Homo-oligomer: A and B are copies of this chain.
Amino acid sequence: MIRNTRQRTAVNAVFDELEGFHSAQEVHARMRAAGDSIGLSTVYRAVQALVDDGELDSIRTDAGEAIYRRCSARHHHHLVCRACGRTEEVEGPAVERWADRVAGEHGFVDVTHTLEIFGTCAACHSAGAPSADQPG
């Protein structure tokens, strides 16, 4: 049975206030800073439960860290600023169709896909950080 504990509720609530992606560690730190007593293990467990429930979306950063976000139910992708971490949701029905079609052509079924776009947002770009050119 799944219980409705204070901690679980609290973690859920954190994502109501937060926009963009945040790591479990960050959520933990934030809660502790806010005076909420909670263990790191519990945050991990809560977050994973929420992902299982479909309440959160998770992706992995390039550094291998898992980050989470409350997501709207419909399928979409993310446009992430690699400087400030700002996230925008984007939709691309054409991409969905393309992915399904390509997978189908190769005989694949049960198809899902992940698509994340990384870039430097206008604010960060004009803030003057010239980034190395990214190949490919």
Q: Which residues of A contact B (CB under 8 A)?
A: 54, 60, 62, 64-66, 74-75, 79, 81-82, 88, 90, 92, 94-95, 98-99, 102-103, 106-123, 125, 131, 133-136
CB distance from A101 to the nearest CB of B (A): 10
Copies of this chain, whole number: 2
Q: Assess whether B60 is in contact with A135, with CB atoms less than 8 Å apart.
A: no
* Partner pick for A111 among B95, B102, B117, CB 8 A cutoff: B117
Q: Assess whether A119 is in contact with B110, with CB atoms less than 8 Å apart.
A: yes
CB-defined contacts of A110 to chain B, threshold 8 Å: 82, 119-120, 125, 131, 133-134
- If the complex has contacts A60-B62, A98-B94, A108-B79, are A119 and B136 also in contact, measured as CB distance less than 8 A? no
